[in-house]
Structure 1
Amino acid sequence: MRPVNIVSGEGFKSLIQCLEPAYSLPRRETVMHAVKSKYTTTKQTLQTKIENCKALSLTTDIWTSNQMESYMTVTAHFISNNWLLHSFVLETKELGVSHTAANIGERLSEVMADFRIPAEKRVAIVHDNAANIVLCAEQLSRNPSWGKVQGVRCTGHTLQLCINVALKKDPVCRVVAAARRLVGHFKKSAKATVALADKQKQQNVVEHKLIQDVSTRWNSTQCMLERLLEQRWPVTAVLSDPNTTQRSDRDLDLTAVQWRIAEDIVSVLKPMVTLTELLSQDDNVSLSATLPMLINMKRRHLLLREDDGAAATAMKNTLREEIDKRWELNGELQTSIYIKAAVLDPRFKSLSFMEEEKRDEAYTTVFELAESLTPAEEPAQRPLDEDDNEPMPLQKKRKQDEISMLMGTDEEQQAEEQNSEMER
C-alpha cells in the first residue's frame, strides 16, 4: 500500500540496510515491470473466464478520493460453467472529464473493448440513482452496439434514499441530531470516555464504545442509536456526575421521550440492516430477491400495529410510500426484470408475494422469453463442497427470524412445499 518509488527513498534504504545489510533493493523500474507483468497475466486469465461464460453483468460507480480526484470503477459479475458466482474489478481509473452520460458511456465502451466482451453477453448495468448514470444506462439500452443491456438501480443505494427521507422528518431528525451531539461529546472528551468505562464496570454493562454515525450511511445511524440505547444508563450516570461533566454539558442527555423515539427508530430500521446485508453479498444473487423481500418487508414488518408510537408510525408510513414510489410497486410488475428473475429463482418462483391474477402473466412472460432462446449446452454441475452440509454459523442463526420474514419462508405450509420440491 506504499508508492512504488519508496524503494528510491533514502530513509527506506537506510531501514533495509539496518534490517538486512546483504539485501539489494530492486530499482523502481524492476518493481514496475513485475507489477505490469502480474497485471498482464491476471488480465489474460480473466479474459479467458469471460470468454467461457454465457452472460455478464456490470456494476459501475464514480467516487472521489481523499485528494478530490474522481475515479470510475467497473466490476463484472458472471456465473462460470461449474455454477460458481464470480465478481472481478475490471478497471479503476481516473475520470478526468466531465461526468456526463456520454462520457460515462464512452468509458464503459472502452472497458468492454479492452476486455473483449461482446454485446450479446452484456445483460445489465447496476448503478446508483445519480441522474447522469441513469441517463447513461438508458442510452446504452437503446444503443445497438450494446445489445439488450438493461439498467438496474442499486437496491442498497435506493434503500438509502428511502430511509434518508424517513430520518429527515420530525421528530426523528431531532432525536438523531441530539444523539449525534451526545456521542460527539464522548468522542471529543477523554475524561468522559474514561468515566464511561468506569460506569460500565460499576453497572455491569458490556464495555462497548459509543459509535458516531456517518451521514452517507444510514445503517451507521441505526448502529449509533442501538449502541446508545445499550449504554443508556452508564451514559446518563456520567452526564449527571458533576465531577466529570460541566453544568453546560449536562443537558446533552436525551429526554425520556427522546429515548423512546430512539427505541422506535432502532426497531423499525433493524430488519432493514439485515435486508441490506442480504442484498449486498457478493456471493449471493440479489436481483430475484429484491421485490419479494421488499414486499414482505412492507406487508409484515412495516405493517402498523396498535402499540406503535407516533415516530414508528410516521417512519413506517414514509418507508412504505418511498419503497412504492422508487420501485414502482403499484405499477405493472409482471414484466419487470425483478419478477423475471424471481420466477427463475427456486426460492421465489411460486410468486406468493404477488396477487394471484398477476402471476400467470409473469409466468407467461418468462415462458415466452425461454422459447425465444436457442437450445443451450447443458452446464456442468457444481461439485458439492465438503462444508456444504455444515451447520449454520451462530451469528447467522440470530438473524434467522428476520431473514424468514424477508424471504416469506416462516409460513409452515409454504416452507414444506418448497422443501419437498427442492428435494425432488
Structure 2
Amino acid sequence: MWKHHASCLKKNEAEKNQTPLGQDELQQDIQERGRYALCRMIVLDEQPYTVRSDCVKVSLEEMELLKVVFSRPGMSRVSITIDCWTGVNNKSFICVTSHFIDKEWRLHKKVISFFDITSHKGDDIAKVLIKALTNWGIQRLFCCTMDNAKNNSVAIKEMKSTINARGMLVSNGQYFHQRCVAHILNLAVVRVREAVKWINGSSTRSKTFKNIAKVCKVDTKKLLCQDVPTRRNSTYLMLEAVLPYKPVMKLFSNVTPQFGRDLRNLKHNDLTVSVPREEDWIEVRKMCSFLQSFYVMTRLVSGTTYATSFSFLMEMCDIFLIIKRLEDDEDVEIRHMAKKMMEKLGKYWLEGDELNPNMNKILYIAAMLDPRQR
C-alpha cells in the first residue's frame, strides 16, 4: 500500500502539471485511489470484508464492465456451468459461471450469479438462470453444463423453450445440454470420514492425535483432511492423507476411549459407524490405488484456465479402460464397484448399437479438430 501511495503521488504530480488541482482535491484523489487499491487487495486475496461498502462499489463497477464485454458486437458465444447444492442450514444455493473466448483467443471464466433459491426444482432453476442471462445482457449461448439429474433435465428443457425462441442457441439448442464429465464417482468411505471429522472437531483432540503420531514416528506434514461427499476428488485426497496414520488411529482409539464410543453411536444408512478396522484399511488402500487415476483424469477435464472440450475423447477412453480392468479384478467388491461406475458413466457417454441421446455430439467435432488426435 505504501508503494501504491508513492506511485499515486508521482502520477498525480504529473497530472497536476497538465490539469491544475487544488490541494484538497489532490488529497481526496489520492485517498480514493488508495481505498480502491485496498478493496482490490481484499477481494483478490479473499480476505474478510472489512470495508464492505467499498468492496460492493468495486463489485458493481466490475459488473458494469463485464456487461459491456457481453454486449460487444463481436462477442463470441458464451457457455455456462451450473452448480447447485444444499448447505448445512438446509438452504439451497446455485452458482452460474460463464466461459467465453475473447478476440485475442484468451479463455475467460467469470462467475455471474451466486445466490440462494427456493428449491432445486427444474422450473425454479430455469427461472433464475433465464433471469441471470437477461440481467447480464447475454444474447448468444453455446452450451450449458449440468449433470444428468431429473431436475436439471427439466431446467434445460424449460430454458431451451424460452431462450431458443430468442434465437440465442446453435442449431435450435441441439448442442445446448452438456453433461458433466467429472460426475462419475459414487464411493462411500463412512468410517474414515467420520473418524477424521471427530478428530478434527476439537483442537485438543487434534493436538493429542499429532502427539501420538510423533510417538509412532509418522510424518505429520500432511494433515488429516475431511472430504466433501459430493466432490470425489476430495475423497481421494482424504484417503491418501489418512493412510500413513493407520497405526496412529489404532493407538489413539486406545488412549481416547470416547473416540470409539462416539463413533459407535453414529448411524449412517442403518450402518453402525466405528473406528476404522483392519479390513477397512485394506479397502482404503485399494481405493487409493485406482482413485488416483480418476483424480488425475478429473483434474484434466475440470480445468478452469484452459479449454477441455478437445481433450475429452482421450481422457474418456482412458477412464473406460481403467473401469474395464477393474471389472476383471480378483476382488468381488472392486468388480461390483466397477460395474456401478460403468452404469453411472454409461448414462452420459456409453454408446451401443444406437447413438446415446444424452451424448453431446459436438464433443466429437472438438476432438476431430485437435491435430494431436489425427
Fold conserved (TM > 0.5)? yes
**Contact 2:178-2:360 within 8 A present in 1 as well:** no
Gap runs ≥5 in structure 2: 1-30, 36-50, 265-273
Cα offset, 1:59, TM superposition:
1.8
- TM score, norm. by length of structure 1: 0.60
1:76-225 counterparts in 2 under 5 A?
76-96=98-118, 100-118=121-139, 121-142=140-161, 143-145=164-166, 146-148=168-170, 149=173, 150-156=176-182, 158-159=183-184, 163-164=185-186, 167=187, 176-187=189-200, 193-207=206-220, 208-225=222-239
CA deviation map 1:286-312 (0-9, x unaligned): 233334312212214651498753333
| Corresponding residue for residue 361 of structure 2 | 336
Check 1:68–1:343 CA distance in 2 against 1; reply closer, same or farther (3 A cut).
same
Give the count of matched residue pairs. 302
Q: Secondary structure at the match of 2:223?
A: coil
2:62 to 42, 47, 53: 42
Q: Which amino acid aligns with 2:342?
A: R
**Contact 1:210-1:224 within 8 A present in 2 as well:** yes
Cα offset, 1:313, TM superposition:
2.9
**Contact 2:177-2:360 within 8 A present in 1 as well:** no
State the Cα RMSD in Å.
3.5
Check 1:249–1:225 CA distance in 2 against 1; reply closer, same or farther (3 A cut).
same
| Corresponding residue for residue 326 of structure 1 | 348
- TM score, norm. by length of structure 2: 0.67
2:332 to 285, 310, 329: 310
Alpha-carbon distance in 2 for matches of 1:84, 1:205: 45
Alpha-carbon distance in 2 for matches of 1:32, 1:237: 48
Cα offset, 1:191, TM superposition:
6.3
Alpha-carbon distance in 1 for matches of 2:322, 2:329: 15
**Contact 1:268-1:312 within 8 A present in 2 as well:** no
Alpha-carbon distance in 1 for matches of 2:368, 2:134: 33
**Contact 2:193-2:226 within 8 A present in 1 as well:** yes
2:371 to 346, 351, 356: 346
Alpha-carbon distance in 2 for matches of 1:188, 1:35: 33
Q: Secondary structure at the match of 1:288?
A: helix
**Contact 2:195-2:275 within 8 A present in 1 as well:** yes
2:253 to 232, 239, 244: 239
Gap runs ≥5 in structure 1: 1-22, 168-172, 351-424
CA deviation map 1:105-141 (0-9, x unaligned): 34333333333322xx211111233323322213433
Check 1:230–1:109 CA distance in 2 against 1; reply closer, same or farther (3 A cut).
same
**Contact 1:138-1:151 within 8 A present in 2 as well:** no
Alpha-carbon distance in 1 for matches of 2:121, 2:242: 42
Q: Which amino acid aligns with 1:345?
A: D
Q: Secondary structure at the match of 1:235?
A: helix
Alpha-carbon distance in 1 for matches of 2:191, 2:64: 54
Alpha-carbon distance in 2 for matches of 1:100, 1:194: 44
Alpha-carbon distance in 1 for matches of 2:53, 2:282: 61
| Corresponding residue for residue 404 of structure 1 | none
**Contact 1:268-1:315 within 8 A present in 2 as well:** no
Check 1:233–1:100 CA distance in 2 against 1; reply closer, same or farther (3 A cut).
closer
Alpha-carbon distance in 2 for matches of 1:189, 1:112: 44
Check 1:45–1:298 CA distance in 2 against 1; reply closer, same or farther (3 A cut).
same
| Corresponding residue for residue 9 of structure 2 | none
Q: Secondary structure at the match of 1:129?
A: coil
Check 1:249–1:190 CA distance in 2 against 1; reply closer, same or farther (3 A cut).
farther
